[in-house]
Structure 1
C-alpha cells in the first residue's frame, strides 16, 4: 500500500506525519510518498523524510500513485476534483459543518475518513485528534491572553504595593477548557469556569478553579461527552450568570461548541461594552460563529477597549509538537487498516473504522452525519 502525505496550504503550518511516524509505518511494509516541502513549516526538511525511508516526490506524483491520501485540513475544491474514486481520503474535515465537502465525496463515490469523528470510546483514545489539538489550543489561548493583557496574571507583593491576580473566566470545560484552567492557575490567575455539563465540576475544582453552576441543564449520555442544545429557560438563566462573571473578568476564554451547530453566543455585544477596558476575549469557537458576538475568525478586533481574538487554529502556531501529537493519533488509526503484509484492509465491522468513515460507495455511512444532514434537508 502507498500512503501519500500532502503539503498543507494557507496558514496551516502543521504536517500530518513527522518523519518519526513515517519510519514506523515503513517498518510495517507500507510505502510512503511525501510531497516536496510538506514538512518545512513544521521544521522538517525533505532530507529527514528520505532518511526515514519515504520517497519525496511532486504533488502530481503523490496524487497519481497513492492509494491513501493524508493531510490535516480539508481538501480545497481543486484538489477534490483531481481525486480518484479508488483513493481513500483521511483528514480532519468536520463533516457536521463542512457538508459541501461531504457531498463532493459522495458524488465521487470515494471512501473518506474524518479524524474528528473518531468514536469517543476507550479503545479509540489513542486516536483522538480533537483532544490532542484542544490541549494545544487551551495552552496557547492562555499564553496569548497573558501577552495581550495590560496587567499581570499572578498576584505580586512589592514595595510599590500589591498587584491583584487576574480574573479569568473560561466558557466550556472540555479538553481545551481544562488545559486553559491548568495554565491560568500555573500563571497565578483566579479562575472561574462555566459548563452545562455537571459531570465536569469535579475536574474543574480539582484544578483549583471555581465552577459556575446554573441548575437545570439538559444532558445527553448519547452525546459522547459533548454539550447539547439547551432549553430557552436555561439559556436565559445561563446568560444572566455568564454576564455577571464576564463583566468582572480580565480575561474570557470561549471554548464552548456544539457539534454540527453554530457555537452558542455567550458574550453578546452589550456585555462586551460593560467589560473593563483592557480586558481580553480569546474565542476558540470563532470558526463556527464564536462564543462572542463580535468575534471574527482569524482576526483581532477591539470594541470599547476590549480586545477580541478570534482564533480557531492555535495548533498551527505550535507546528512541531502539534504535528507530533496529530501524527501519533493518525498512526494509531492507520494501524487498524494495515495488514501484516502492509496492504490495505478495511474492516467496516470495526467500531472505530465504521464510526470514523463518513462516505463510502456514494453514500454517507456515518449515522451521526447522516442524521444531521437529513435534518438540515427537511
Structure 2
C-alpha cells in the first residue's frame, strides 16, 4: 500500500485487512507513514504482519498496488509490468494518467466504476464514502448555522426546529436525511427518481416531488439519475422555488456520471432564503448544483452561506479508511486464487469489465476508448 499525496487523509489498508490479506497467502508491504493521517501507526501495521519500507521497497516486485486516490504515474516508477493498481482513479478527468498507467504496463482498476449490482455492494467505494459524506454535510451545516436543530421548549419560550431540505436522494442524500432527523430537524427531500419517495418517507422525511409530468422517472442504468426533459426541469424549478424559501438548510447531492452537475438552485432562489440560512453543495467538484458555488470554499451570497463541499469523506479519515480498505479487500478476495497466490480477473466478468481501465499496455475500457 502506498502513502497518499498531500491533501488525502485516507489510506487504502487497515490492520484488519492486512491480516485478512496475509490469511489469503499474500505478503503485505506498506510505505512508512501511510496511515498516519487516519490514526493508524506504522507499529499497528507491523503488529498486523505488514512489512514497512520506502516507496521503492513497496513497489519492488509488488503484484498489487493499493491506493485511495490515483497516484501520479511518475511516482510509480519501478512498479512491475502487469501489476494491478487498485484505487479510485477518476478516469474521466485524469485521462492522461490512465494512458500513462497503460504505458507503464499496469492493469489499472477504477474502484469508483464498480457496477451497482448485488454481488458488488460490499466493494462499492462510492457508496461507502458517500454515506460518510452525507453525514458530514449535515454536521458541517449545523456547525455553520447560527441556530439549534431540534425544537426546544424552555421557560423563556419555544425554539422551532430547523427545516432541512435534501436535494438528491442517493446514498449521500439518504444519510443526510437520517442525520438531520437524528438532530431533530424537520426534513424534506426531493429526487428526480420517483422510486425514492418511499425511501424518503421511511426515514420520517416529507417527499417533495413533481407530480403530473408523465413518463419521467429519472433513473438510468445502475440506479443513477439521468438528465430530465425541459418540461420536467421547468416544473421542478417552480416547485422548488416555493419550497426552498421556507428552508433553513439545503443539502444538494445531485450528480450525473460523466457530466457536469445539474444546476438545482439559482441565484434568485438563494435571494428568497432568509439570512443565516446554509446551503451545502456536495456536487461542488463537478461544477456545483448551486449558482455561485466555489469548490472547497465557503461563500456568503445574499446573507446565505454556501459551502462548496469537496470530498467530505476524507474529513473523517479513520472511518473512511476502514470502509475503503474493506471495499478493496472484498473485491480482491472474491477473485483470489489460492493456488496462484493472487487474484484472477476473468475478462467476461461484469465487475471486471466495469472497472478495468488498462491491460496489456492499452486503455481497454469502452467508456474511455469510445471517447
By the TM > 0.5 criterion, same fold?
Answer: yes
The answer to whether residue 33 in structure 2 is matched with residue 37 in structure 1 is: yes
Could you tell me which residue of structure 2 aligns to residue 357 of structure 1?
356
**136-145 or 310-319, larger mean C-alpha shift:** 310-319
| Cα pair 1:218 1:228 within 8 Å, conserved | no
- Corresponding residue number in structure 1 for 2:184: 188
- The answer on whether the counterparts of 2:11 and 2:35 sit within 8 Å (CA) in structure 1 is yes
Q: Counterpart of 1:150?
A: 146
Counterpart for residue 340 of structure 1: 338
Q: Quick check: 1:6–1:69 contact (8 Å CA) kept in 2?
A: yes
Range that drifts further, 171-180 or 158-167 = 158-167
Give the TM-score normalised by the residue count of structure 2. Answer: 0.94
Quick one: distance in 2 between partners of 1:235 and 1:95? Answer: 29
- So what's the TM-score if we normalise by structure 1? 0.92
SS at match of 2:200: helix
CA contact (8 A) 2:193 2:218 kept: no
Deviations 1:325-352 (A, max 9, x none): 1111110101133211423422222221
Structure 2 residue 366 is matched with structure 1 residue 367? yes
- The correspondence of residues 137-286 of structure 1 with structure 2, limited to 5 A, is 137-215=133-211, 216=213, 218-219=216-217, 222-286=220-284
How far, CA to CA, are the matches of 1:83 and 1:243 in structure 2?
A: 54
Quote the residue 2:69 is aligned against. Answer: 73
Q: CA distance change for structure 1 residues 80 and 245 in 2, over 3 Å: closer, same or farther?
A: farther
- Retained in 1: the 8 A contact 2:284–2:310? yes
TM-superposed CA distance for 1:48, in Å, is 0.9
Corresponding position of 1:6? 2
1:204/1:291 CA distance change after superposition, 3 Å = same
- Alignment RMSD (CA, Å): 1.8
Report the 3-state secondary structure (helix = DSSP H, G, I; strand = E; otherwise coil) of the residue aligned with 1:273: helix
In structure 2, the gaps of 5 or more residues are: none
Secondary structure, aligned partner of 2:198: helix
What SS class does the counterpart of residue 72 from structure 1 fall into? strand
> What displacement does 1:82 show?
6.2
Count the aligned residue pairs: 368
Give the unaligned 5+ runs of structure 1: 374-378
Matched, 1:64 2:60: yes
